[in-house]
Chain A
Amino acid sequence: MSADAQTAGLNIAVLIKERLPDIPFEASVTKTYADLRVPPESFLALITGLRNDPELSFDLLRNIVALDMEDDGLEAKYHLYSFAHSHAVQVTVAAPIPSFELPTLTHLYPAANWHEREAAEMVGLVFAGHPDPRNLLLEEDLRIHPLRKAHPLQKPEILQGIEDGPPGVEV
């Protein structure tokens, strides 16, 4: 199963390189899908190509994962799927430091709206051009990024009111 996933992943990466020769990316394979690591300046061109090229036609944005890579800054991973060709790919992009700004995909994939809002509040990515950049899961005026590695996991004693402590640490 895993070997099949590896070959399928490599085949997709080769096909994408063939169809979009001008866009630089590094391909590797995860346990399930191919992973394309793209520099932030080529990111929008790659996603647009993946979506609009008839041989690729990745029409479903499944998921966005925002990661805090500590010393390497913030990253976002996008999972795309194509109904026409039944193939899938993962795109990784590291956000530029210190602005952590990535272009929004809401104009290409309306489904990106809530995923981006979640990624923005949880690790502090900024999605330029997002139509509604408010907090989604956290309180509206809370400016913390709980999924940053520096953000502490709160002690249960504080939550239970036995010990005093800060309600959340500003990052």
Chain B
Amino acid sequence: MSTTWPEENTTTTTGDLDTVDMTINVGPQHPATHGVFRMVLTVDGELVVDCEPYIGYLHRGLEKLSENADYRQAMGWWDRTDYLAGMCCEGAYVMAVEKLADIEVPERAEYIRVMMMELSRINSHFMFLGAFGADVGSFGTSFTYAWRERERIYDLIEEVSGDRMFPTYFRIGGVTMDLPDNFESRCRWVLASIRQGLEDLDGLLTGNEVFVERCQGLTPVTPEQAIAWGFTGPMLRATGLPWDIRKAEPYSIYPKLDFEIPVGNQGDVFDRFHVRLAECYQSVRIIEQCLENIPPGRVLAPKLPKTLRIDEGELYLPTEGTKGEYGVFLMAKGGAQPYRAKLRSPSFCNLSALKDLVVGSYVADAIVILGSLDIVLGEVDK
């Protein structure tokens, strides 16, 4: 004798299941938000129907502080914007000040700076590769793989500048001190290790069918959409547009260097991942060329004033940060302090399109999409 339980009897129900929207609060303290970022998701079953991002938890008043400190003092705060790549940030800031004050930088210092900025870029991308793998579900493995290389890069940066994350190594007019004697051999050793690490991560993630299935075709973005949302950097290049400020509006010694711009073709999550992976190889190429061609000479411009005063002028200087266009606006009106300092942070612009990217996807994919934006909250919140 068979029994039919009441819930098994579905012959009398009509239509679909009636579902109720539910609100899920993610963050501000949550491993998937990569910092202090909060998003409120409204979900219907597993589908995201609305997303409201909240930022500002790490707002430290960078611009107000910079306007109340002299040009040299402010450098330490700019380090702390994109804290995964401090050298790129201080590089952008000092280049803007130098351009405003017409200060020439010795060529050796330019080479040192480019090497440091590219090491920072690799460092930041490793953070992405590790954390993104964890977002998608490789759990700790990709993280530990990435961390091995990151520690080695940090060790090298510490040997050069004396600090790991916030070196304040650049100076207006050059860099603080020359490279240590064994830098070339140490750097080549780290670069070989980076190549190995990239291949390991490539094998671990790109070679993993589950990872590829999760990422391919997720939120494809067209170049037109990307431009309208203000995407720059790897987010824009993933759509197939080969736009890199190091090539489009070159600064420092980048015109002398030979490197390629990796691009994707559909702008989906997998392309964003792959563009960043391929960029690391190009950064390694850049550093190798710098090691071969670095000239001898001084590393700090002579006859710099004790207190830098700039009479008048303004500029907006874009540089290729690790997340996109890291632009510095400075306005001088006499005196030792800038009248206005403004940061155009790439993560801020990339994140502003989060709602459009996430709505309509599954909750689990929302985390992957947020991870693929590669935000750093120090830079979003300023």
Contact = CB atoms under 8 A, between A and B. Distances in A.
Chain B interface secondary structure, helix, strand, loop or mixed?
mixed
A111 B317 contact: no
A67 B331 contact: yes
B17 interface: no
A77 B317 CA distance: 14
B63 interface: yes
A32 to B, nearest CB: 5
Nearest to A146: B64
A31 B99 contact: yes
Interface string A88-121: 1010000000000000000001110111000000
Nearest to B328: A63
Contacts of B325: 62
Interface string B245-288: 00011000000000000000000000000000000000000000
A62 B248 contact: no
Given A31-B314, A86-B248, A109-B228, A63 B61 contact: no
B64 A147 contact: yes
B61 to A, nearest CB: 7
A110 B353 CA distance: 9
Contact of B68 (A111, A137, A153): A153
A32 B316 contact: yes
A61 interface: yes
Interface in B214-261: 227-230, 232, 241, 243, 248-249
Interface residues of A, number: 35
B156 to A, nearest CB: 30
B329 A61 contact: no
Nearest to B380: A137
A77 B241 contact: no
A83 B230 contact: no
A contact face: mostly helix, strand, loop, or mixed: loop
Interface in A43-68: 59-63, 65, 67
A25 interface: no
Contacts of A38: none
A110 B329 contact: no
A65 B342 contact: yes
B352 A137 contact: no
B30 interface: no
Given A60-B230, A113-B352, A114-B348, A32 B342 contact: no
Given A63-B327, A65-B340, A137-B382, A111 B230 contact: yes
A111 B102 CA distance: 32
Interface in B329-346: 329, 331, 340, 342, 344
A65 B317 CA distance: 13
A62 B55 contact: no
Contact of A153 (B55, B59, B64, B229): B64
A37 B130 CA distance: 46
B227 A83 contact: yes
Nearest to A135: B56
A111 B228 contact: yes
A90 B329 CA distance: 11
Interface string B297-324: 0000000000000000111111000000
A10 interface: no
A60 B316 contact: no
Contacts of B39: none
Nearest to B69: A153
24 contacts: A31-B100, A31-B313, A31-B314, A32-B99, A32-B317, A61-B230, A62-B316, A63-B316, A63-B327, A63-B344, A65-B329, A65-B340, A77-B316, A79-B316, A79-B344, A86-B248, A109-B228, A113-B352, A114-B349, A122-B63, A137-B55, A137-B59, A137-B382, A146-B61
Per CB-CB distance, the 4 closest pairs between chain A and chain B, nearest first, are A111-B230, A31-B315, A63-B344, A137-B56
